[in-house]
Amino acid sequence: MTKSVYSMQFSAGEEIFRIGDRGHNAFFIETGRVEISIARNGEKVVVAELDAGEIFGEMSMIDDAPRSATVTALEETVVIVIERSRMIQPLSSIDPMMNLLLRVVLTRFRNSQNQMMGLRAKSGEDAKSLDEIRRLAFDRINAEKTLREALEAGEFEMHYQPIVDLDEGHVAGFEALIRWRKKDGGFVSPVEFIPLAEETGLIVELGRWILETGLCDQIELAGVCRALAPDRKAPFMSINVSGVQLSDMDETRVLTDMVESSNAVPADIKLEITESLMVENADQAAAALAKLRESGVSIAIDDFGTGYSSLSYLHQFPLDTLKIDRAFVINMDTSENARRIVLSIIQLALALDLNIVAEGIEEKRQMDALRDLGCQYGQGYYMSKPQPLTDVIAFMKTMPGWK
């Protein structure tokens, strides 16, 4: 494997690179001092001297254009070389708007530098790649604007999917799932817009609305259920919370306050969090979950077994429920391996005293098999698709345990 970060040593007077050179590494000065110079009318003009801790060569690293200055060591100098390969991944994953800003600033700087040196203004970046970056940023900003307008226009609604007690057959709770109903009546799947909302930060505002609506509708559903069967425990409401919302303690406090100041019984509220949150930033996740738990809500791990399968976090966090991902349930009939995985997840959950919900049950035989393996709760199209609140209330009145 080639090293993408390493040291190099230069003696006094030695050139590190020369104007016009092709090169795309940046350099941190570890010790020593360098001089940056350009040529004007055939004369060398020193434009800067840099000391330890400063960086140079960064522009070509970003836009891959030839060097626009010469850098010479003024004394014995050690530099840390950062190869462009080290930056390709971070550069390609930055927000398109940030990328555009970076490139535009750089292009304008290079143009004015060229003019200063009496050269024809030309972009360091090739025009095609800048166009592409501009288009991506434009698409992103447009999508963000559309999403924000949809939120303001009230185009989002919550649907609720029953979670059924597999032994008794009654509805034990619901999962709140967001829907975007466009003006033309068509629905956009959350799979399309939640990631965008996360990348743009809009999930914070949207997430507050989701929690508020979920809490409010749980209270209404609990009221209906109390009237139908006064002795039965009210159905819980499981609400999805994005890792982005919990990556900030201030926002976590806002969400906790929302639960505490609502009229919902916190024990009837469950927040669904995906595994990746715990794995990517375990300390922050632990702090956020502990804060949420102060309000009395319980926590479910969503899509369990799909991403990281790191079991080490399970006992570190205050969890209440594991949700088995649909991918395992679908394959249970045909794959002995999938069946074994489901069985192990169920056994693991039982050993850790966690509730277990299987997702994506589409066939009676899947439901029966899960029940036989000891799975307590299930949800899926076989029982009911997610529906608007009014339809769910009508549906409850027909369900065992409630009618």
Using CB under 6 A as the binding rule, whether residue 364 contacts ligand C2E is answered as no
Q: Could you identify the residue written with the tokens 């738990």? A: 293
Tokens read off for 248: 């900030």
Cα 34 to Cα 352: distance, rounded to the nearest angstrom? 61
Provide, rounded to whole angstroms, the least separation between the CB of residue 142 and ligand C2E. 22
Of 173, 266, 305, 380, the one binding ligand C2E (CB under 6 A) is 380
Q: By CB under 6 A, what part of segment 330-359 binds ligand C2E?
A: 359
Is residue 391 a contact residue for ligand C2E (CB under 6 A)?
Answer: no
CB of 87 to Ca ion, least distance (A): 35
Task: Rule CB under 6 A: say whether 238 interacts with ligand C2E.
Answer: no
- CA-to-CA distance for 159 and 191, rounded, in angstroms? 15
**Sign for the pseudo-dihedral over CA of 300, 303, 304, 307:** negative
Quick check: 240 binds ligand C2E (CB under 6 A)? yes
Which residues bind to Ca ion, rule: CB under 5 A?
A: 240, 272, 302-303, 359
Candidate list 303, 314, 322, 341; residue touching ligand C2E; CB under 6 A: 303
194 binds ligand C2E (CB under 6 A): yes
CB of 393 to Ca ion, least distance (A): 21
Question: Which of Ca ion, ligand C2E, none is residue 386 near (CB under 5 to 8 Å by kind)?
Answer: ligand C2E
Q: Spell out, one character per residue from 164 to 183, where the chain touches ligand C2E: x when CB under 6 A holds, - when not.
A: ------------xxx-----
Pick the piece of the chain touching ligand C2E (CB under 6 A) from 106-114, 262-270, 343-351, 379-387: 379-387
Q: Nearest approach, Cβ of 209 to ligand C2E (angstroms)?
A: 9
| Count of residues in contact with ligand C2E, rule CB under 6 A | 22
Among 85, 115, 129, 189, binds ligand C2E (CB under 6 A): 189
In the complex, minimum distance from the CB of residue 297 to ligand C2E, in angstroms, rounded to a whole number: 15
Query: Which spans of this chain sit near ligand C2E (rule: CB under 6 A)?
Result: 161, 176-178, 189-191, 194, 210, 240, 242, 302-303, 326, 359-362, 379-381, 386
